[in-house]
């Protein structure tokens, strides 16, 4: 068996471990972050469970850090009180980015982890089966419910050789994106093997598994080996280490081979992570802004590389450069080694240990600016500036651009190769991680005025009749559907308000049109809903009356979120039927034969009919017809 199969077998509750079959597994750990956490914990409360049923659940505050007005601070107070009451650890603002901190302080090889953030697969760098999910799935896991998913195919990504100077782990995942695209990992786990993995540290492995989310993979995973043990020992957690290895005769569904020694420095062009080219192909392009950090490249190894390359130098006068350290532990280490001095002396702005600029929460670039970011996504408008051109790259390429004022191959600068001591030690200080009360019954939940009741969906029966309120193309992301940024993110616990921004990037008139339609249907292309785990991309359209989405194909997490909120997900049997539908057409979806796996869609405007598939299991059909997972689970609990 391969690693993925071993971990799933050890956690299997129901289903057959056959690719594509629906399975249910036990979840050991959960994580949430504040942008998704407030809604997840409102949902957890609605389930009526007093204490989390997992081995460990952690609530991180790392997204809504600007605290512009009362709303963000109120959310933080809510999260702290609910964690204390219900058995959840809380990582306070300033402690760091959820994935970096979880890697440092909580991740355990061989365990299952779901997180209400799409980059939860970062934990695969430690040998965890770590998956991004919507907030409701995280809440259900905390309540002790099984996590349902389709048994993934497992792709062996065999690494050989070793990286050349100034070529990094970021270039490995960018090369994988170049090869397979943002759709290439759907329904799959990327499992890394081969002698090349022995040359990669845990932070490097975590960079690769983090951005596996961008190929649509269920997750990505490395073995837990001596390198993993060494990392955990430095974190004073070596007693939690276990070896996790594939069998020598493990079988995989596919094979991708990458010779690390042949890789070049790579860069992803706007506005999609798979628009990857070699840096040499576009070098010389003027740059206005450079940012290093995010959950992808904010480890001490990444930022030490930055410091060594900047030492004794100055950032180009036309560049605004910022740094987001991944955790308090990383920031303290930079202070202790004196490397922070080199960074400050070079003219870099030190931003908070947060997600920040990655989700448009500050440090947005100027009009038509070119910004190089060591982040994981460069979707249109994600920076907070719709006209900006965002490129994704490694810290090495980012620093080269910051020094030269233009896209530059770092190998051409004549710099000494940065070095990293894998035995370097850290100050272990968990004072910003709060343990929950043992009892919790007397803890009062703090709810600010922006925290509104959880909206619920009504059940569906017989037929859905509605208006096509929007028709969109391929690769629509959750950033298109439900943008983030400093203006919108504070509204995450206020669905009536945040729903006013649905599809704002594409069509600002959408919310009013959807409300006026009463019952809405959305038509889309391939890979609809890729990107973030944000369940608001399903919840807010549901609030506006959207009851079905008919597309060519769905991204995994968004599909699960649609089911959880009672929106019927349909796919075209014949892709040509997509062309026959126009915005404002009136459609009727006959559900009488839904258990067959297909429904009949009638275009009442055009006087035509066609068949549409749905990917739902019997359980998921019942969830959608019940109006969503909350009502379904509560009904099942009462019945039991």
> Is 364 within a domain?
yes
Residue 186, domain extent: 3-261
CATH number at residue 32: 3.30.499.10
List the single range of 218-227, 462-471, 622-631 with lowest mean pLDDT.
Answer: 622-631
pLDDT number for residue 588: 97
> Is 447 within a domain?
no
Residue where a domain terminates, one of 261, 284, 306? 261
CATH number at residue 497: 3.20.19.10
> Is 419 within a domain?
no
Write out pLDDT tens, residues 529-550: 998 888 999 999 999 999 999 9
> Is 437 within a domain?
no
Whether residues 255 and 296 share a domain: the answer is no
- Is residue 639's pLDDT more than 60? no
> Is 109 within a domain?
yes
Q: Which residue has the tokens 């069998």?
A: 247
Whether residues 66 and 41 share a domain: the answer is yes
pLDDT number for residue 484: 83
Cβ-based burial of 574 (10 A; exposed 0-12, middle 13-18, buried ≥19): exposed
Residue where a domain terminates, one of 204, 239, 261? 261
Residues 210 and 621: their CA atoms lie apart, in Å, by 32
Beta bridge partners of 610: 601
pLDDT number for residue 637: 59
Write out pLDDT tens, residues 162-203: 999 999 999 999 999 999 999 999 999 999 999 999 999 999
Q: Where are the beta strands (DSSP E) in 187-275?
A: 188-193, 219-221, 254-259, 266-268
Whether residues 606 and 633 share a domain: the answer is yes
pLDDT number for residue 455: 87
Whether residues 247 and 317 share a domain: the answer is no
Whether residues 493 and 592 share a domain: the answer is yes
- Domain count for the chain, please give it: 3
372-399: average pLDDT: 95
Write out pLDDT tens, residues 476-533: 999 999 988 888 888 888 999 999 999 998 999 999 999 999 999 999 999 999 988 8
List the single range of 66-80, 168-182, 314-328, 565-579 with lowest mean pLDDT.
Answer: 66-80
52-59: average pLDDT: 98
Whether residues 302 and 230 share a domain: the answer is no
Buried b (16+ CB within 10 A) or exposed e, 144-166: ebbbbbbbbbbbbbbbbeebbeb
Residues 314 and 613: their CA atoms lie apart, in Å, by 58
Whether residues 523 and 472 share a domain: the answer is yes
> Is 325 within a domain?
yes
Residues 72 and 83: their CA atoms lie apart, in Å, by 16
If one compares 395 and 534, the residue with the highest pLDDT of the two is 395
Return the closest-CA partner of residue 571 out of 605, 541, 601, 530: 601
Using the 8-state DSSP alphabet, how is residue 100 labeled? Answer: H
Beta bridge partners of 521: 468, 548
> Is 445 within a domain?
no
- Is residue 638's pLDDT more than 60? no
Write out pLDDT tens, residues 77-128: 999 999 999 999 999 999 999 999 999 999 999 999 999 999 999 999 999 9
> Is 247 within a domain?
yes
Whether residues 283 and 188 share a domain: the answer is no
Whether residues 300 and 238 share a domain: the answer is no
Write out pLDDT tens, residues 127-136: 999 999 999 9
CA 637 to chain centre: 30
| C-alpha angle 586-588-592 in degrees, rounded to nearest 5 | 180
List the single range of 237-246, 583-592, 628-637 with lowest mean pLDDT.
Answer: 628-637
274-289: average pLDDT: 98
Whether residues 513 and 632 share a domain: the answer is yes
Whether residues 236 and 253 share a domain: the answer is yes
437-458: average pLDDT: 91
pLDDT number for residue 529: 94
Whether residues 148 and 18 share a domain: the answer is yes
pTM equals: 0.92
Residue where a domain terminates, one of 239, 261, 283? 261
- Is residue 636's pLDDT more than 90? no
- The overall average pLDDT reported for the chain is 95
Residues 62 and 631: their CA atoms lie apart, in Å, by 30
pLDDT number for residue 640: 46
**DSSP letter string, 102-163:** HHHHT--TT-EEEESSTTGGGGGGGT-EEEE--HHHHHHHHTTPPEEEEPPEEEEEEEES-P
Residues 217 and 448: their CA atoms lie apart, in Å, by 37
Residue 214 φ/ψ region, left for φ over 0, alpha for ψ in the -120 to 50 degree band, beta for the rest: alpha
**Measuring CA to CA, how many Å separate 33 from each of 52, 116, 117, 246, 556?**
16, 7, 7, 32, 20
pLDDT number for residue 633: 84
């Amino acid at each position: 068996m391969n690693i993925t199969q071993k971990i799933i077998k050890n956690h299997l509750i129901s289903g057959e471990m056959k690719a594509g079959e629906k399975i249910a597994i036990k979840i050991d750990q959960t994580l949430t972050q504040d942008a998704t956490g407030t809604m997840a914990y409102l949902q957890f409360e609605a389930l009526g469970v007093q204490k989390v049923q997992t081995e460990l659940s952690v609530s991180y505050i790392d997204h809504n850090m600007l605290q512009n007005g009362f709303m963000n601070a109120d959310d933080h107070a809510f999260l702290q009180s609910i964690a204390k009451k219900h058995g959840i650890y809380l990582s306070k603002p300033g402690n760091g980015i959820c994935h970096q901190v979880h890697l440092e302080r909580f991740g355990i090889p061989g365990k299952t982890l779901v997180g209400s953030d799409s980059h939860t697969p970062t934990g695969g760098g430690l040998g965890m089966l770590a998956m991004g999910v919507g907030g409701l799935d995280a809440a259900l896991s905390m309540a002790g419910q099984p996590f349902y998913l389709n048994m993934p195919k497992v792709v062996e990504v065999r690494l050989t050789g070793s990286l050349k100077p100034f070529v990094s782990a970021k270039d490995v995942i960018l090369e994988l994106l170049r090869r397979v695209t943002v759709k290439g990992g759907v329904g799959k786990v990327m499992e890394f093997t081969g002698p090349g993995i022995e040359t990669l540290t845990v932070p490097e492995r975590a960079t690769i598994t983090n951005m596996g989310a961008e190929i649509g993979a269920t997750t990505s995973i490395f073995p837990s080996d001596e390198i993993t043990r060494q990392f955990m020992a430095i974190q004073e957690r070596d007693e939690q280490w276990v070896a996790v290895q594939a069998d020598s005769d493990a079988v995989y569904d596919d094979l991708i081979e990458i010779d690390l020694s042949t890789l070049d420095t790579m860069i992803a062009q706007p506005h999609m992570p798979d628009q990857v080219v070699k840096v040499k192909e576009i070098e010389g392009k003027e740059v206005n802004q450079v940012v290093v950090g995010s959950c992808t490249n904010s480890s001490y190894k990444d930022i030490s590389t930055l410091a060594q390359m900047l030492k004794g130098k100055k950032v180009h006068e036309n560049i605004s450069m910022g740094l987001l350290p991944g955790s308090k532990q990383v920031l303290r280490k930079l202070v202790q080694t004196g490397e922070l001095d080199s960074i400050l002396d070079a003219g870099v702005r030190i931003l908070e240990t947060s997600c920040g600029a990655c989700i448009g929460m500050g440090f947005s670039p100027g009009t038509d600016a070119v910004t190089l970011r060591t982040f994981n996504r460069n979707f249109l408008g994600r920076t907070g500036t719709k006209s900006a051109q965002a490129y994704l790259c490694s810290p090495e390429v980012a620093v080269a651009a910051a020094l030269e004022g233009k896209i530059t191959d770092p190998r051409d600068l004549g710099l000494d190769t940065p070095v990293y001591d894998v035995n370097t030690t850290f100050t272990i200080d968990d004072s910003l991680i709060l343990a929950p009360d043992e009892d919790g019954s007397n803890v009062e939940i703090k709810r600010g005025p922006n925290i509104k009741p959880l909206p619920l969906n009504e059940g569906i029966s017989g037929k859905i009749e509605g208006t096509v309120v929007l028709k969109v193309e391929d690769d629509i992301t959750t950033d298109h559907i439900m943008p983030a940024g400093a203006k919108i993110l504070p509204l995450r616990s206020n669905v009536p308000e945040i729903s006013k921004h649905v599809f704002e990037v594409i069509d600002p008139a959408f919310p009013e049109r959807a409300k006026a339609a009463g019952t809405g249907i959305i038509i889309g292309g391939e890979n609809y809903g890729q990107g973030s785990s944000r369940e608001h991309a399903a919840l807010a359209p549901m609030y506006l009356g959207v009851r079905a989405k008919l597309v060519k194909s769905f991204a995994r997490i968004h599909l699960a979120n649609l089911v959880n909120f009672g929106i019927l997900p349909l796919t075209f049997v014949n892709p040509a039927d997509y062309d026959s539908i126009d915005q404002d057409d009136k459609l009727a979806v006959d559900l009488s034969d839904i258990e067959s796996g297909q429904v009949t869609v009638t275009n009442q405007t055009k006087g035509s009919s066609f068949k549409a598939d749905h990917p739902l299991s019997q359980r998921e059909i019942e969830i959608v017809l019940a109006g969503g997972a909350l009502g379904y689970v509560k009904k099942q609990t009462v019945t039991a």
